[in-house]
Structure 1
Amino acid sequence: MASLEIWTGILDRFEADIALAVSGGFPPAWEPPLDAGPLPAELAPQARRVLEAQADAMDLLARMKHDAGTQLGALAAVPAGPVFERPLLLDVRG
């Protein structure tokens, strides 16, 4: 397989994995092909876009992790009360 085809597949896979990760999915494990060779010059613009998208995704995921940690911290700060067999309040408005 030609280097151009291999690298096109690699970059396309990166883009798909980034989209999956920022939408809450888990990209499957990936092993780089051993015969990729150097990046063809004509794919440099796409490679730069992928690199920028990866950086943006890492920033977004870091913010989401921070926000989740903040919310978990707030929940942990709520004191636990006694457990009753029946509810003490009834929401009649829904």
Structure 2
Amino acid sequence: MKKYASGKVREVYDLEDGRMVIVTTDRISAFDVILPTMITDKGKVLNALANFWFDYTKDIVKNHMISSDLKDMPVEFQKPEFEGRTILVKKLKMIP
């Protein structure tokens, strides 16, 4: 799996078929610095909040969300440690 980007709290993987996988981690950051301590399940909470708003507003504005179900993910992400923190999305061109 090709890692496309690594952010403060998310890892993004390019599936090279027009889709990407985004994994929300338990990392924390302050002032653009990733701190050494993690917060257990922070990634799951952050991912659940994002998924709620993507679903809630999907009739107002289109978004990139395809699925948050692990069974829809590539085999590499169908593991318990990715449950609740992984989303499959459409690869889109970002508007600056």
Q: Same fold (TM over 0.5)?
A: no
Which of the pair has more CA radius of gyration?
Answer: 1
TM value normalised by structure 2: 0.28
- Structure with greater helix share of residues: 1
- Structure with greater strand share of residues: 2
